A and B are shown apart, each in its own frame.
Chain A
Amino acid sequence: MPKRTDLKSILIIGAGPIVIGQACEFDYSGTQACKVLREEGYRVILINSNPATIMTDPEFADRTYIEPITPAFVEMIIERERPDAILPTMGGQTALNTAVALAEQGVLKKYGVELIGAKLEAIQRAENRELFGKTMREIGLATPRGSFVKTVDDALKFAETTGYPIIIRPSFTLGGTGGGTAYNAEEYRTKIALALSASPIHETLVEESVIGWKEFELEVMRDLKDNVVIICSIENVDPMGVHTGDSITVAPAQTLSDKEYQFLRDASVKIIRAIGVETGGSNIQFAISPKDGRMLVIEMNPRVSRSSALASKATGFPIAKIAAKLSVGYTLDEISNDITKKTPASFEPTIDYCVVKIPRWDFEKFKGVDDTLGIQMKSVGEAMAFGRTFKEALQKALRSLETGRHGLGADGKDAFDPELLSASEKAEWIEKVTNRLRMPKADNIFYVRYGLLLGMSVEELHAITKIDEWFLRNIEQIVRMEQELKAYALPAGV
């Protein structure tokens, strides 16, 4: 299918100011979309309140509005510019929510503006958890048991059926704001009240806990001819319970056999079709029980996301750029593969390396904030690295964080030297490390190393952290190599 000629001008909604959960990845996607659509000859109108973005540079759009990203302002722009379409999938949750509001208020209908990339119904099916759960059941996929509540009383009734912990996910909020995990009734009451007030529709999902399960993500693309390809699979090192944005993640998935991977692939294809995302990319998250392989669908983002930026860089497949082309009618086989230039974009990237992403936190700047990681994202950035082994990529990513560490150990910055500890000090440290690792925290990976240095076993560390033993074994290999090299150290003063 050639590109659409009935569209002349397209409005792109940016993501606004940098906040936790929505950072420069949406400048990257929005800029790509502006470039592509202008190259294709469309008149591009852009709204973004954040002037410190690339996309608001004058050359990226035909008309740039630096205005608040609210339905009222966007309506004024629509009235003035009369775009034929809005592309709402490039500017994160802010852009998507604004577009939904405009559609629901009848503004788009009034001015004859079409949503491209994702239609209103598709966005609603993906974002409304009740509708999402129903859609998943219709295609034979399971989601965690849950219920939507609007009052604390209803929430307590649900808790009686499942017990604790319970996950709280307020509807329509950004980066999981107002969400959390409750381990007891007291905590639950407080957190439900917070969640209800954070949700614009005063509603929250309460869900059976899959804390400790393995977490996977797939990046999916679909075109108007219904071709679907998977760009990348991602495995979270941190198990379920930690927001993906706060997890160390690895691409591709490391501990799935082909049969299990294909199950996720088939599920993703079914999901993007059932949700009805017509063109562009989506991110789908799954939880897998490490005991019996039971698989649950957690959620879907019907738009370009933080993970798509990662998947694009990890594979060389430019998701935002291709998504923009698909939104105006091109199909995957009509677009050329950015890497080979010769072959079409209708393929699934395969890589001969491993990619590790590590979040970067800045708790020093947020006094009083609990540095325990949960389902509300707390990191302010991330570093990614490539390696031919997981160990190599992990070390490079740790070094890239600019936290003053040169990798996992071997940089003289440890809190203690295990060889110099007395027996009682060692016991104290083991207790300290154990307690520390019980809760997911920002620098837990260094405590995993401490645990290994103190002689704790991979099995023990797995029991405490639920981090898959494959990752722990690899970390153990790094620690062993460090110790082996230490034996060759020159005496002091040489």
Chain B
Amino acid sequence: MFTHATLVLEDGSVFRGESFGAQGETTGEAVFNTSMTGYQEILTDPSYTGQLVTMTYPLIGNYGVNTEDMEAARPCAAGLIVREYSDFYSNFRANESLGSWLKKAGVVAIQGIDTRMLTRILRESGAMRAILTTSDEDDRALLEKVRRSPEMTGLDLASKVTCAEPYTWTATDQTPFALLPVRSDDQKRPFKVVVYDYGVKRNILRRLTAHGCSLTVVPAGYSASRVLALEPDGVFLSNGPGDPEAVQYAVEQIRELLDKKPLFGICLGHQLLALALGGRTFKLKFGHRGANHPVKNIRTNEIEITSQNHGFAVDPESLDPRTVEITHVNLNDGTNEGFAHRELPVFSVQYHPEASPGPHDSDYLFRQFIDAMAANVPTVVRA
């Protein structure tokens, strides 16, 4: 039933398994995600562009895929690596098997390899380039290809995944499991928000809408003056793939918006905001990808279990403590998870309050953005 597939890492490690996705070849950065659920959201998250995602949970495909749990129009990850793929699925929402969906989307996927060993290699040596192929090429030739493929550091991938033209967004989560608040039809939507799309996840758009925002999504390279011409109440800086330091054009626009509009950033948006405030970012050894990362909110001392997906991080030492307050810290490794400007209504987090997949503990941040916009425009009538 399955044909073979091979995974070769930059360090020369070779894994042989079976293909359960499309036939073909793909290169990218091999990373691992520790979420036990949410493979469909992970695969469609544009932040995984250029990455071969290993799921550490060994049984993948069990609940199939459905039409609702999409974070983009199609899968974005470069490839998928699992221990055991289940072609049979059981879930009342599912309409297709994961394998068939990946085949249609042209995504290469491998199963039947020791993902625990692979994860150990990535933890010890760090995330590294790899090739995943269904071809019969010999390992040496494959290794050559890996070593010729681009490194993640220095890559601007936001420009590859951003939208071509501005568009408006009005949808919310309509499943029976939707998180409240969900906008009701009679609710006023006074807050106009411009969303910079560096590879935005749809659930961010759904959550902003659910909290009562009317959204215009604009391309990553959209100029600050054009954003201001839209007269938004606030500007949102999205998540996205790649190295933040390679997205200088975005940093420059953000710098111009800093003292003009309330700003809220998530993930790459957080990193770009740090750069705009004069900070630095660096590459983490193997990154944070999963749905169980404990983050401490320094202001309230509360702990949030968070959804994370990032390979780069903000160096908190690089931010001026006179202008920037560190608001969130990762309890596992002490890395920065959030900061706020001391005077301006500008803040951001490294993790994913929109979850999808992951826990909803941090949804209050969307409310915080609404409050920041309300405080900034006191004349606005709030629903």
Residue contact A348 to B40, C-beta cutoff 8 Å: no
What is the size, in residues, of chain A's interface with B at 8 Å between Cβ atoms?
45
| B293 CB contacts on chain A under 8 angstroms | 347
* B303: interface (CB < 8 Å): yes
Chain B residues with CB under 8 A of A253: 37
B303 touches A258 (CB 8 A): no
A39-47, A271-279, A349-357, A439-447: which lies at the B interface?
A: A349-357
Residue with the greatest number of chain B CB neighbours at <10 A, chosen from A230, A252, A348: A348
B-side contacts of A265, CB under 8 Å: 359-360
Is A84 in contact with chain B by the CB < 8 A criterion? no
Residue contact A388 to B83, C-beta cutoff 8 Å: yes
Partner of A254, one of B62, B83, B294, B356: B62
Cα A352 to Cα B33 in complex, Å, equals 11
* B305 engages A388 (CB within 8 Å): no
Q: Is A256 an interface residue (CB 8 A)?
A: yes
404-434 of chain A: CB within 8 A of chain B: none
A344 to B302, CA, bound (A): 13
In-complex Cβ contact of A258 among B56, B305, B358 (8 A): B358
Instruction: For chain B, give the interface size range.
Output: 35 or more
| Known A262-B359, A266-B179; contact A350-B90, beta-carbon cutoff 8 A | no
Contact among B66, B88, B331 for A469, CB-based, below 8 A: B88
A468 to B289, CA, bound (A): 30
Q: Point out the residue from A227, A347, A348, A468 that lies within 8 Å of B302, measured CB to CB.
A: A227
Q: Which of A226, A227, A388, A469 contacts B84 (CB 8 A)?
A: A388
Within residues 41 to 69 of chain B, which ones have a CB less than 8 A from any CB in chain A?
A: 41, 56-59, 62-63, 66, 68-69
Q: Are B36 and A389 in contact (CB under 8 A)?
A: no
Q: A225-B302, A266-B179 are in contact. Are A473 and B36 (CB under 8 A)?
A: no
Contact B294 A344 (CB under 8 A): yes
Known contacts A259-B175, A388-B84; decide if A229 and B305 are in contact (CB<8 Å).
yes
Q: A390 near B332 (CB under 8 angstroms)?
A: no
Query: What is the bound-complex CA distance between A351 and B68, given in angstroms?
Result: 26
CB distance from A380 to the nearest CB of B (A): 30
Binds B, one of A173-181, A201-209, A285-293: A285-293
B59: contacting residue among A254, A258, A290, CB under 8 A = A254
A263 with B59, Cβ < 8 A, contacts A257-B66, A389-B84, A469-B90 known: no
Q: Is A260 an interface residue when CB atoms closer than 8 A count as contact?
A: yes
CA distance A260 to B94 in the complex (A): 12
Given contacts A259-B175, A388-B84, contact A290 B303 (CB under 8 A): no
A259 proximity list for chain B (CB < 8 A): 68-69, 175, 177, 356
Answer yes or no: A151 CB below 8 A from chain B CBs: no
Docked pose: A227 CA to B59 CA in angstroms: 30
Q: Does A162 contact B (CB under 8 A)?
A: no
Q: Does A73 contact B (CB under 8 A)?
A: no
Tell me whether B63 and A255 are in contact (CB under 8 A).
yes
**Pair A352/B59 contact, Cβ less than 8 Å:** no
Specify which chain B residues have a CB less than 8 angstroms from the CB of A294 in the assembled complex: 176
Of B62, B292, B358, chain A has the most CB atoms within 10 Å of the CB of B62
**A-B pairs with beta carbons under 8 Å apart, 15 shown:** A225-B301, A229-B305, A255-B91, A258-B69, A259-B356, A262-B360, A266-B360, A289-B92, A293-B92, A333-B303, A344-B331, A352-B57, A353-B58, A388-B83, A473-B86
Which B residues are within 8 Å of any A CB, using their own CB? Answer: 34-38, 40-41, 56-59, 62-63, 66, 68-69, 83-84, 86, 88-94, 115-116, 119, 175-177, 179, 290-294, 296, 301-303, 305, 331-332, 355-360
User: What is the interface of chain A, defined by CB distance below 8 A to chain B?
Assistant: 225-227, 229-230, 252-263, 265-266, 289-294, 332-333, 343-344, 346-354, 388-390, 468-470, 473
